[in-house]
Chains A and B, each alone.
Chain A
Amino acid sequence: MPKVCFYFLLHQPYRLTDFSVLDLDNCDQYFANTTCDQNRDVFLKVADKSYRPMLALLLRLVETVPQFHFSFSCSGVFLEQAQTWAPDVIELLQKLAARPEQVEVLGENYYHSLSALYSPAEFARQVRLHSDAVEEILGVTPRIFRNTEMIYTNDVAAQVANLGFQGILTEGVDKILSNRQKTRVYRSNSDPAIPVLLKHAQLSDDIAFRFSQKSWVSWPLTADKYLRWLHDYHDEEIIGLFMDFETFGEHQWADTGIFEFFADFVHKAATDDHVDFVTPASQLCPSGDRQAWLAQLPVYDVPEPISWADAERDLSAWRSNDLQVDSLRQIYALEPQVLATHNSKIIDDWRRLQTSDHFYYMCTKYFSDGDVHAYFSAYNSPFEAYRRYCIVLADLTDRITTNH
């Protein structure tokens, strides 16, 4: 029977407030000011539209459908904001995490950053911070890892393996697979090696992006139709359906029927003899001789970074123009001075400024992916995102100097 492996990402960045040059050295509130807190407003809006209804639905499904399994992860900055503004969302997450036989919580880096590419030491610290937060808040220890935006290279796999994780999720990129299936487990090309589970882009995006597109030939998508597509896969193939949690209720609004579709699909798949639900750990942590099992897996060799974003599935959403390249370079160049302050507020602000969304907002490739970028931007232009970021960067530099 083909296996369906759902993974949902919950993340919200701390967007920058309109920090002006006149605020330099006068104010250390980069993410909100006294009159306006965009981050709270966005969080509460998305909580109503997506987090609350979808988490409640998932809870009802795991309670009533014993065959249903899925996985999720939350960035650390998501957990912080949920604790502050919507503690009931945390309660729902706790109830789900309390059923580890059906629900798996994955590890990631706390700040949803690109640190794996810039500073392995900082990446390790952010991963530890995240594991600690998940253990404390959700009461489970992640064994499988999913890096920011599925960003992956051989080197990232080595870092993740060295941190003790048992497996990693990433995008199944066609040019790397070159005609091989994306529905089986691979081995990373790294030392130490780690098993890799791939996203099935087409079937994931059918739900995440195309579900409500009336111009799509398969619209409207029904549970029966989707299930029929899964029947095309052979036994033992694993179909990685990885997507933003906000697909449900935010990217696809409730009135598109996305919630009904999902519930219907889970019920029908559970009673379908041809489909099984699985969690990542169940596929990446087999019993028996792990080294021998790993050695016989085919290799997924990724020398240059891949991700799950845009048509290119590369880093270009975060690092394709000079604005992004230099602001990334500058923020990571501060690492030794920031850590030397031993000032927890400075260190936390520096890490919040590493969140990948800041660089995503600076993206200027406004072609086929441009509309997606515009939808997800907190500012009216990539240039405004960069302008604000630079002023905050200068202010942070002064705070490091004065340790204030």
Chain B
Amino acid sequence: MIGWEMPPHNSGGLGTACAGMAQALTADGVNLQITLPYQADDYPSDLHIVSCSASSADGDHLYAPPFNAYTPAKKSSHRQHLPHPGSWMEDRVEEYAQKVLEFARKHQAEFDIVHAHDWMTMPAAILIKEELGKPYVAHIHSTEYDRSLSEDLTSYISQCELEGMRLSDKVLAVSYYTKRLLVTKYGIDPEKIDVVHNGVVKFLQNVATPAPEFAHHRPVVVFMGRLTMQKGPDYFLELAQKVLARRPDILFIVSGMGDMYQHLLLSTANKSLSANVLFSGFVRGGAQEAILKRADVFVMPSVSEPFGLVATEAAMLHTPVIASKNSGVVEILPDSPQFDFWDTDAMAQSVLQLINDPDYREQVVRNQFAHLEQNTWKKTARALEKIYRQVSPAAPKKKRSTGKKRTSKKD
């Protein structure tokens, strides 16, 4: 498995999802080695992680993770086909591909399939397939279209995505929403795409330090995510204004950081919401859990959201979720209120109903929980194993076998 980030060095849901599926696959007996582009001493202990850090060669230049993979590509210096890397991040991706290829060469007898996640790992998967003939699955958690909301797919990042999917043996989408997008925006054959939903993250870190309770005196509505156009934080402010016009005591918390941070603070002040819309900054671990748990309503008004792992985390903590219809997570939370991201009137109505009607709220929470209980990482792992076997008949069902055959290159 070619990874990019792992908790606690993650900048978003990708690391969380990779850790969840890797742990479930390993527990299920799959012999899984995971590469990461950095060195750390706090990898999850149940995983077999290999550092393919570019810093190991010169030794004096350690890059500190996480590497934010969520900045849209710059719109300059595009070439006809495979453009050259245009940023520090893209250079890192190229370096990483070389390091992973070196590792794959040395250990080529020990693996059958490559599992690659998002554009940052596609160059590595392509190189390995071209040189060693190993098949790979391209797992799409998030696309450049989601991040930039632009139809222009000529950037280096978009080309990594396109070529990565085109040359792959199988494309995995985290939702039907993403599958539709891959078909319509990237022109991928729908037959080549399987949908594998993420499992649900169980919060375990609170055993030692229980999440603190806070803001006891009034209802709390939470947004959590990168503060960027894709996630719709400006719609959250619009929603807050509409709700506060009717219930001025409600507290809105915006958790996260991103390119819209300053704009959102100015907009909050401009709407005269300074005492009701608070910004927590970027949170992780216990603080993240405390905020999701305290929320009376969690709102995810994303403009385009491939999955939306954080919504499942909120739901697991008994918080009712209002999600954008343009998200994958509504596929596994079908009974939660869902709206068009721009329909803040309807969302405001729903927030007030969830806060004012405890019976309705309880019903939403119960239904969410019932659906999530079926969505385990174990189930995700089983679906992945089935796909591995389709892609590479040589892949052993379980456990490591010694007499592996090299799979032939697929067309």
Contact surface of A with B, Cβ cutoff 8 Å: 20-26, 321-323, 325-327, 329-330, 383, 386-387, 389-391, 393-394, 397-398, 401-402
Interface size in chain B (residues, C-beta < 8 A)? 29
Residues of A within 8 A of B273 (CB): 326
Closest A residue to B253 by beta carbon equals A21
Given known A22-B212, A22-B290, contact A323–B217 (CB-CB < 8 A): no
**Chain B residues near A393 (CB, 8 Å)?**
274-275
Question: Is the CB of B265 closer than 8 A to any CB of chain A?
Answer: yes
A322 touches B280 (CB 8 A): no
| Given A21-B215, A21-B253, A21-B291: A390 touches B279 (CB 8 Å cut-off) | yes
B375 interface contact, C-beta 8 A = no
Q: Is the CB of A25 within 8 A of B266?
A: no
Q: How far is the CB of B309 from chain A (nearest CB, A)?
A: 22
Task: Say whether A398 contacts B214, CB under 8 Å.
Answer: no
Q: Is the CB of A398 within 8 A of B275?
A: no
- Is the Cβ of B278 less than 8 Å from the Cβ of A383? no
In the complex, are the beta carbons of A390 and B274 less than 8 A apart? Answer: yes
The 4 closest A-B pairs by CB, nearest first: A322-B269, A326-B269, A24-B215, A322-B270
State the CA gap A389–B277 with chains docked (Å): 12
Mostly, the B contact residues are mixed
The CA-CA distance from A325 to B212 in the complex, in Å, is 33
Q: Verify B278–A326 contact, CB threshold 8 A.
A: no
Instruction: Choose among A21, A327, A389 the residue that contacts B214 (Cβ–Cβ < 8 A).
Output: A21
Would you give the shortest CB distance from B320 to chain A, in whole angstroms? 20
Least CB distance, A336 to chain B, in whole angstroms = 15
The answer on a CB contact under 8 Å between B217 and A387 is: no
In the complex, which of the residues B215, B265, B291 contacts A387, with contact meaning CB atoms closer than 8 Å? B265
Q: Contact check, A25 vs B274: say whether CB atoms are below 8 A apart.
A: no
Find A25's partner among B214, B261, B280 (CB 8 Å cutoff). B214
CB neighbours (8 Å) of A326 from chain B are: 268-270, 272-274
Query: Nearest B residue to A391 by beta-carbon distance?
Result: B278
- From B267, which residue of chain A is reached at the shortest CB distance? A322
Residue from A24, A327, A383, A389 having most chain B Cβ neighbours under 10 A: A24
Residues of A near B265 (CB, < 8 A) are 323, 383, 386-387
With A21-B278, A390-B275 in contact, is A321–B291 under 8 Å at CB?
Answer: no
Question: Which residue of chain A has the shortest Cβ distance to B217 in the bound complex?
Answer: A398
Residues on the A chain within 8 Å of B217, using CB: 25, 398, 401-402
- Chain B positions 244-278 with a Cβ under 8 Å from a chain A Cβ: 251, 253, 261-262, 265-266, 268-270, 272-278
The answer to the question of B287 belonging to the interface, with a C-beta cut-off of 8 Å to chain A, is yes
A-B contact pairs, 20 of them (CB 8 A): A21-B214, A25-B217, A323-B265, A323-B274, A326-B273, A326-B274, A330-B272, A330-B275, A383-B261, A383-B262, A386-B269, A387-B265, A387-B278, A390-B275, A390-B277, A391-B278, A394-B251, A394-B278, A398-B215, A398-B218
Contact of B216 with A25 in the complex, beta carbons under 8 Å: yes
The answer to whether the Cβ of B281 comes within 8 Å of any Cβ in the partner chain is yes
Q: Considering residues B216, B274, B279, which has the most beta carbons from chain A within 10 angstroms of its beta carbon?
A: B274
Contact A26 B275, beta carbon cutoff 8 Å:
no
